[in-house]
């Protein structure tokens, strides 16, 4: 299989220093030398129709106890950092969102956005105290653009809460179940998300494995 450079080099950080990994199951993957993201070559992406059909096979009901417990891994550290009655967006919510339900039960207002299930342009024309991106960033075909878009939706001091399974050593990558999902096209390490934040002047906290809480700078205090 002939290797081909992704259109914008690394689609996560747009750095040109990328190289190919050994093919896996006939698929080409790229590794960024700067942010250390691993990216599936775009020629292997599913069509929008096939991607949507795959999402319909997911069983992530908002009232499922097991799935709610899984979402608590992100909800708990996020809730600890939110002011009362914050306004947030669940970006990539899927058809129903256990995370949104948990946050609403805690007194916060949460809007849903998903290009396949809640494609409401109005949701992307307001500002929020937080944006939750749970089990979504691995699906991004243009992650650099999507991180910019999510950041633009946040008020100063706002939080971008990301949950995605961090890639560990390459020796396990071929057999990793996360890689085998055909809709997963980009894989992040802790360093990757720190780079996403630092390159934009944001801060990044990793409160637990697979969780990144990225915060925009707070507004400057005025002096009179």
User: Cα dihedral sign for 13, 192, 204, 55?
Assistant: positive
Closest residue by Cα to residue 187 from 24, 4, 71: 24
Question: How many residues comprise the chain?
Answer: 224
Torsion of CA 166, 171, 172, 178, to 10 degrees: 50
pLDDT above 90 coverage of the chain, percent:
87
Closest residue by Cα to residue 97 from 107, 85, 112, 81: 112
The answer to the question of residue 15 being in a domain is no
The answer to the question of residue 51 being in a domain is no
The answer to the question of residue 80 being in a domain is yes
User: For the chain, what is the mean pLDDT?
Assistant: 93
The answer to the question of residue 207 being in a domain is yes
Please report which confidence band the pLDDT of residue 59 belongs to, taking 50, 70 and 90 as the band edges.
Answer: confident
Tell me, what CATH number does 149's domain have?
3.40.50.150
Residue 203 parent element (H or E) = strand 203-208
Q: What CA–CA distance (Å, rounded) separates 157 from 95?
A: 29
The answer to the question of residue 17 being in a domain is no
Residue 157 parent element (H or E) = strand 154-163
Which residue in the block uniquely carries the two structure tokens 């256990």?
98
The answer to the question of residue 84 being in a domain is yes
Domain interval for residue 123 = 60-177+188-215
The answer to the question of residue 154 being in a domain is yes
Please report which confidence band the pLDDT of residue 224 belongs to, taking 50, 70 and 90 as the band edges.
Answer: very low
The answer to the question of residue 53 being in a domain is no
For 75-120, write each residue's pLDDT tens digit. 999 999 999 999 999 999 999 899 999 999 999 999 999 999 999 9
Total domains in the fold of the chain: 1
Which residues have CB under 8 Å from 130's CB, separation 6+? 78, 82, 86, 87, 88, 89, 154, 158, 159, 160, 161
> What pairs with residue 134 in β-bridges?
163
Please report which confidence band the pLDDT of residue 64 belongs to, taking 50, 70 and 90 as the band edges.
Answer: confident
pLDDT over 50 at 173, yes or no: yes
DSSP letter assigned to residue 175: T
User: How much is the pTM?
Assistant: 0.93
């Amino acid at each position: 299989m002939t290797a081909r450079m992704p259109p914008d080099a690394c689609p996560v950080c747009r750095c040109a220093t990328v190289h190919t990994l050994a093919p896996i199951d006939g698929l080409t993957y790229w590794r960024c030398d700067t942010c250390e993201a691993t990216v599936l070559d775009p020629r292997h992406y599913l069509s929008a129709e096939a991607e949507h059909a795959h999402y319909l096979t997911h069983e992530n009901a908002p009232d499922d106890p097991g799935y709610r417990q899984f979402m608590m891994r992100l909800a708990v550290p996020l809730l600890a950092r939110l002011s009362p009655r914050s306004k947030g967006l669940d970006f990539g919510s899927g058809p129903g969102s256990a995370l949104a339900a948990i946050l609403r039960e805690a007194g916060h207002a949460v809007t849903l956005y998903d290009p396949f299930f809640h494609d409401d342009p109005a949701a992307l024309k307001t500002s929020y105290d937080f944006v939750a991106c749970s089990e979504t960033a691995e699906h991004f075909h243009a992650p650099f653009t999507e991180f910019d878009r999510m950041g633009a939706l946040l008020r100063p001091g706002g939080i971008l809460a990301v949950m995605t399974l961090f890639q560990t050593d390459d020796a396990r990558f071929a057999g990793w179940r996360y890689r085998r999902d055909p809709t997963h096209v980009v894989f992040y390490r802790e360093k990757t998300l720190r780079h996403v934040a630092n390159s934009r002047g944001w801060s990044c906290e990793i409160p637990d494995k697979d969780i990144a809480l990225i915060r925009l700078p707070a507004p400057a205090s005025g002096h009179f």
